[in-house]
Structure 1
Amino acid sequence: MSTASVLFDAPGPRARVRNRIISVVTIVIAALIVWAVVAKLASKGQLTAAKWQPFLTGNLWKTYVLPGVEGTLTAAGLSIVLALILGFLLGMGRLSHVGFIRWPSAVIVEFFRAVPVLIMMIFAYFLFALYDVFMSTHLALAGVVTGLTLYNGAVIAEIVRAGVNSLPRGQSEAAAALGLRWGQTMRSILLPQAITSMLPVLVSQLVVVLKDTAIGYQITFVEMVRQGTVVGSSYGNYIPALIVIALLMISANFALSVAATRLERRLRRSKRAGVPLQTQAALEPGD
């Protein structure tokens, strides 16, 4: 007789054997698919040493790869900072008790969440070009940053609103009992707690910002993926070029995730160490 688990009954002897067989068959099929793909690429000459040789030269990195890395990191960095600022402002606006602040914030958030990022990039690019807002050399960067900021700022606003609303109502009630105003409650009590709980979701969204810079090739923006295809076209090594670009993208995303994880741990430690026990007891829900 199988013992009960939290979500389902633990498999019996026959089920365990069947699961092992299914796992082995799945692994074998996956290995065969990988082998077939690698063999096909090898037959086309995409995995020979000659195709990887250009990446050992400094000229390729200086001419193609590094400008793409610089463009991607620049656009992502600017978009992340601006989207966080816009997102927190709109999120606070949606949480406001003042109607003429809350309703416009809600309209802006819903509008920019509904419009595709590429459409906003193209619109901003041609709008800036029409009115000479930026120099021609910065037009593509401005279009990419504008599109990413507006879309992701709207998404972050919803993350902020959901994070604050997920906190126990006792937090707000305790703050009101202490005589704190809405702004003081948000700044001193609710937001610090919400930010810590929101960090995993925020990191996921920031990774999306980094990856979506690749869409900027539609408005001639120089970024990593575009430069990878240029390398493949110039040297005839599309697969090695895209593998290298993929590794660079994975490294950037991993670094962002590691930095956010360390920040989350630091915030949790500082919150535990910095809040007096009397304040913690006063803010506990139900007291």
Structure 2
Amino acid sequence: MTTTATALHDVPGPKARARHRRYGMAATVVLLGLVGWIVYLLADTGQFEAEKWRPFAYQGIQELLLEGLGNTLKAFGLAAVLSLALGAVLACGRLSEHRPLRWLATLFVEFFRAMPVLVMIFFVFVALKVQPLPALVTGLTLYNGSVLAEVFRTGVGSVERGQREAAYSLGLRKTQVMAYVLVPQGVRAMLPAVISQLVVALKDTSLGFLITYEEFLQAGKLIATDLDYDLPFIPVVLVISPIYIGMCMLLSWFANWVARRERRSVKTRAAEVAQPGPTDALSGPGGRA
């Protein structure tokens, strides 16, 4: 155990480790019992009967679900790209030295960040009479772009002040300082928050079913409310929920992979810079130039 690690907390002794193992085992037993109780209730109400799951064997139902999943990913892809772009523009406005531009960007961010997503979607869909997909993407973009603007601004602001001052002392302009110094370093700080917000955008695509957009949840709703299939509501939830969870976990895994890769590349570059070359070794203490 290193000195840094021991300075932050006391190293647990044998009794503490044994106590932690007991707590872990007890929590595991409770979770397994809860899962078993839920499975029992589902089985007791006949949710695992073949008749309930029969609709998923039909090709038409499978195509409906795949089409809904594709529409969900389409809406998310458009909203994610536009939100990132809008967030970058608003963050530049918030960081601008021109006061009117900074105030305008601040007003935009605070207004749409406080506005409920569903209200914006309904307003665009009903008041402006826009088609479901553009209405959904517009609402998601305005909200998530405003939130990401604050994430970007905070990430850039988290870079040490000395980095900015050193860049200005080298004669770099503000745009060059932002592009080559502040943003690359701030990305590592803001990446977890950016991915978390994109996960929120992915889940909020399910609001599209309220404006008749044929996304994944809408497809499940059509199946669950079809009287010909004996209302297989729980089986539809058991099919749709793991897919939503899997997509969010995949997005989080991708964020962690990018973060690890970025940290590894930074350490590699630092090692290459710190490693002395043959000339440095000869000109060091005790060596000959």
TM-score band by shorter chain is 0.7 to 0.9
What does residue 242 of structure 2 align with?
247
Counterpart contact for 2:158–2:189, Cα < 8 Å = no
- Match runs of 1:168-187 below 5 Å: 168-187=160-179
**Structure ID, larger Rg:** 2
| Residues 83-112 of structure 1, C-alpha deviations (whole Å, 9 max, x = no match) | 000000001111111111111111111111
Distance apart, 1:119 and its partner CA: 0.6
Compared CA separation, residues 57 and 269, structure 1 to 2 (3 A): same
- State how far apart, in whole Å, the 2-side matches of 1:194 and 1:127 are: 39
What does residue 42 of structure 2 align with?
41
- State how far apart, in whole Å, the 2-side matches of 1:12 and 1:191 are: 44
- State how far apart, in whole Å, the 1-side matches of 2:264 and 2:97 are: 32
What does residue 156 of structure 1 align with?
148
- State how far apart, in whole Å, the 2-side matches of 1:71 and 1:22 are: 44
Instruction: Please say which of residues 192-201 and 107-116 is displaced more in the overlay.
Output: 192-201
Secondary structure, counterpart of 2:128 in structure 1? helix
Q: TM-score, normalised by structure 1?
A: 0.82
Distance apart, 1:161 and its partner CA: 0.5
Match for 2:57: what amino acid?
L
What does residue 90 of structure 1 align with?
90
Match for 1:228: what amino acid?
G
Compared CA separation, residues 20 and 265, structure 1 to 2 (3 A): closer
What does residue 58 of structure 1 align with?
59
- State how far apart, in whole Å, the 2-side matches of 1:6 and 1:27 are: 31
Secondary structure, counterpart of 1:221 in structure 2? coil
Distance apart, 1:179 and its partner CA: 1.1
RMSD in angstroms over aligned alpha carbons?
2.7
Aligned length: 265
Secondary structure, counterpart of 1:46 in structure 2? coil
- State how far apart, in whole Å, the 2-side matches of 1:238 and 1:5 are: 53
- State how far apart, in whole Å, the 1-side matches of 2:205 and 2:213 are: 9
| Residues 148-203 of structure 1, C-alpha deviations (whole Å, 9 max, x = no match) | 10000010000001000000001110111011111111112111221233212111
Structure 1: give runs of 5+ residues left out of the alignment.
279-287
Secondary structure, counterpart of 2:142 in structure 1? helix
Counterpart contact for 1:124–1:143, Cα < 8 Å = yes
What does residue 143 of structure 1 align with?
135
Counterpart contact for 1:225–1:242, Cα < 8 Å = no
What does residue 283 of structure 1 align with?
none
Compared CA separation, residues 265 and 35, structure 1 to 2 (3 A): closer
Q: TM-score, normalised by structure 2?
A: 0.81
Instruction: Please say which of residues 181-190 and 242-251 is displaced more in the overlay.
Output: 242-251
| Residues 107-160 of structure 1, C-alpha deviations (whole Å, 9 max, x = no match) | 11111111111111111111321xxxx4xxxx1111111111000001000000
What does residue 100 of structure 2 align with?
100
Match for 1:242: what amino acid?
V
Compared CA separation, residues 189 and 8, structure 1 to 2 (3 A): closer
Structure 2: give runs of 5+ residues left out of the alignment.
275-289
- State how far apart, in whole Å, the 2-side matches of 1:257 and 1:25 are: 28
What does residue 281 of structure 1 align with?
none
Distance apart, 1:260 and its partner CA: 3.5
- State how far apart, in whole Å, the 1-side matches of 2:223 and 2:181 are: 51
What does residue 33 of structure 2 align with?
32
Secondary structure, counterpart of 1:111 in structure 2? helix
What does residue 232 of structure 1 align with?
224
Distance apart, 1:51 and its partner CA: 2.4
Instruction: Please say which of residues 11-20 and 212-221 is displaced more in the overlay.
Output: 11-20
